[in-house]
Structure formats: C-alpha cells, structure tokens
Amino acid sequence: MTAGAERTIFYVADIHGSDVCFRKWLNAGRFYGADVLVIGGDLTGKILLPIYPAPGGNGSWTATWRGRQVHLETRTAVDELIRTARDEGSYGYVTTVDEVAAIQASPDLERSTFTRLKLEALAEWMRLADQRLADGSIRAVVMAGNDDPPEIDAVLATSTRLEDIGGDVVEIASGIHMASVGESTPTPWHTPRELPDGELGERIAQTVDRLPPGGTAIWNLHMPPHATGIDAAPELDAGLRVQYDSGGEPRMRPVGSHSIKRLVEERQPTLALHGHIHEGRGRYKLGRTVGINPGSQYQDGVLMGVLVRVSPSSGVRDVTFTAG
C-alpha cells in the first residue's frame, strides 16, 4: 500500500480474453506494489477456434492454429491447445464441421455460440479473481469496453472482489475519484457498445458531472481523444481491408473522439486513462491533463500496462509503462 493518501494504480485495457494476461493482472498488485488494479474495457476475446474430429474417425482431432493445420492425437493434446489458445485470447471450441457450417449459416447462432463461450470464460475469471483477491488488500475494478457484449455485465456482477465500475464514479481514496465510461464511437465492425461521437460526449459529461469538486479526478474512458498520438489506427476501405501507402506501409489516421478531446480540454481532469487502439501505447498532455494508453499485446501473452502514482493534492506523481 502506498504511503499516505497516495495511490498506485495499475491500469491495463484490451486484454481480449487472454487468460494469461488476466492472471498476470490479478497478480500485478503484489508484483508492482499497486493499490488499485484497473481493466479499462474489452475484456472478452475475438477469436473462436473450432477443433474438429479428424476425417477418418480414428478418434483424433484437427484444427487450424496459427495459420497451420494441426493434428491432435489425444484429448490431452486438445486440452493443451485450448489452454494455449486461451492465453492468446482465442476460445477453443470442440465441435463438428457440421455445427460450424450451421453457425456460419446463421448470424444469430454464431453470436449466441460466441457469447456463450465468452460468458463461460468470464465466469471462470470471476471465480479466479475472487480466490486471488480474497484478502481484500488490493482493490480491483473493471469495466466493459465496446467489444464486450451486454450479457457480460451480469457475469461481472457475480464477483465478490471485482467491481464493475462502467458508467459509475467511484472513490479510489480520499480525494481521488474515478469516472468510467466504456463505450466507443462507431467502428467499422459495429461492436456492441458504440455511440455516435456526440452522444458519447453527452454520456461522458453526465458521468463526470458526478465527480466531486476538487481533489484528483481520473477519467477512465475506453475511447481515446482525437489526434493525441494515442489514437492512430490504420485506414480501411469499404471491405475493411487495411490501406497501404505506395511504400507498403499502412496509412494511419487518428480515430479518437472529438467530443472527448473537447471535454478534456474544457474540464482538465487530472488523469485520463484510455485503451481501444492497441498500437497507440503512449501518453499525451492536454493542458494540465495527463492522458495514457498502455497499448495492448494480448496475442503474445504480454500484459502491457501502466503504473500511475496519484495523490489527492499533487495529482499525477509518476507514470511508468510496463510490459509484463
């Protein structure tokens, strides 16, 4: 525990179902000496890995993994692949070719299957969190991000140790408060929690209006502000293909929220924590506000994070980026 009223916050975002990243996050409090652990949205994964009985009916399985077809002789090998895939944020799913064909023929079935796997995995995480954080010495807060389906809110509520702070204002310590909003502006993929930029600004304004005056105000917003260096993403065409320049490099452009930028400039929170753009690891300064995006490298099992020491009177005392 940090001395006095200062608090050390360990913030990550966009772990996207990576089991090993979540487990590391749970251990990060003791490891880094942090008082508060935060996941700023996008908890659930994006990839489903079907594992099929191999043709020929000899009791083995097969799957396409890391671009290659792998053959799994035993159920132990299947379980091992599922564990490895989970560490990289993929949901291994033992199924049949026919079932996958049915899923692909029905968007509803696809969504329900995917959501079921996400919820099962998240429920496991809640149980693990309750075990590891049982002594209550480290506070752990999470919120859903734009990629997380609404159904996960109910699963998050089952935890006794993790607090779902999405849409809320919470006191981190005396004189240090955090307001959290996990929605993003519209993306080309039409993710579950998106709002037009104006509406997102209104929602954030309504949330931060509940922050008490004075002290240290932390805005925990999944979406980054526009053109702050932490929001550059590749340009896409209508077919969602990345656009490259003549030299073969992706054309990057700022995709952050104009409303958030305006609000940050106007209201000057002490600290703004963001995610959403995985390669946007970095920080910005807008007036007195320090803004941070720790980036994400969940596919490699690397937990990209940031340790921020905050004080009610002095604001942000220190920022250290981590790659654990």
Q: Which of residues 138-157 bind another protein (CB under 8 A)?
A: 146-147
Please tell me the distance from the alpha carbon of residue 277 to that of residue 293, in angstroms, as a whole number.
8
Report the residue from 9, 15, 24, 220 that binds another protein according to the rule CB under 8 A. 24
Q: Is 177 helix (H, G, I), strand (E, B) or coil?
A: strand
Size of the site for another protein (CB under 8 A): 83
Q: Which is nearer to another protein, 213 or 247 (CB)?
A: 247
- Per CB under 8 A, 238 contacts another protein: no
Q: Which is nearer to another protein, 23 or 262 (CB)?
A: 23
Q: Which is nearer to another protein, 42 or 164 (CB)?
A: 42
Q: Which is nearer to another protein, 167 or 191 (CB)?
A: 191
Instruction: Name the E strands within the chain.
Output: 7-12, 36-40, 47-53, 61-65, 68-72, 90-94, 139-143, 162-164, 169-173, 176-181, 216-221, 232-234, 252-254, 271-273, 282-286, 289-293, 304-311, 315-323
Taking a C-beta distance cutoff of 8 angstroms, is the pair 126, 156 a contact? yes
Report the residue from 56, 136, 240, 266 that binds another protein according to the rule CB under 8 A. 240
β-strand pairing of 304-311 with 7-12: antiparallel
β-strand pairing of 90-94 with 61-65: unpaired
Site for another protein in 246-285 (CB under 8 A): 247-250, 252, 255, 276-279, 281-282
- Per CB under 8 A, 311 contacts another protein: no
Taking a C-beta distance cutoff of 8 angstroms, is the pair 72, 47 a contact? no
DSSP conformation class of 249: P
Quickly count: other Cβ atoms within 10 Å of residue 318's Cβ. 11
Report the residue from 46, 226, 258, 267 that binds another protein according to the rule CB under 8 A. 46
DSSP conformation class of 281: -
- Per CB under 8 A, 242 contacts another protein: yes
Site for another protein in 170-189 (CB under 8 A): 184, 187, 189
Query: Measuring CA to CA, which residue among 146, 120, 222, 213 is closest to residue 180?
Result: 222
Tell the smallest beta-carbon distance from residue 243 to another protein (Å).
Answer: 10
Report the residue from 5, 47, 170, 316 that binds another protein according to the rule CB under 8 A. 47
Query: Measuring CA to CA, which residue among 189, 196, 250 is closest to residue 223?
Result: 196
- Per CB under 8 A, 109 contacts another protein: no
Report the residue from 296, 310, 312, 315 that binds another protein according to the rule CB under 8 A. 296
Taking a C-beta distance cutoff of 8 angstroms, is the pair 39, 25 a contact? yes
Site for another protein in 51-90 (CB under 8 A): 52, 55, 62-64, 66, 69, 84, 87
Tell the smallest beta-carbon distance from residue 211 to another protein (Å).
Answer: 25
| Secondary structure of 9-61 as H, E, C letters | EEEECCCCCCHHHHHHHHHHHHHHCCCEEEEECCCCCCEEEEEEECCCCCCCE
Q: Which two tokens stand for residue 148?
A: 């997380």
Report the residue from 9, 15, 28, 292 that binds another protein according to the rule CB under 8 A. 28
- Per CB under 8 A, 303 contacts another protein: yes
Q: Which is nearer to another protein, 134 or 323 (CB)?
A: 323
φ/ψ bin of 277: left (φ > 0), alpha (ψ from -120 to 50), beta (otherwise): beta
Please tell me the distance from the alpha carbon of residue 271 to that of residue 289, in angstroms, as a whole number.
6
Q: Which is nearer to another protein, 4 or 212 (CB)?
A: 4
Report the residue from 9, 11, 15, 16 that binds another protein according to the rule CB under 8 A. 16
Report the residue from 212, 241, 313, 314 that binds another protein according to the rule CB under 8 A. 241
Site string for another protein, 114-143 (x = CB under 8 A): x-----------------------------
Site for another protein in 192-221 (CB under 8 A): none
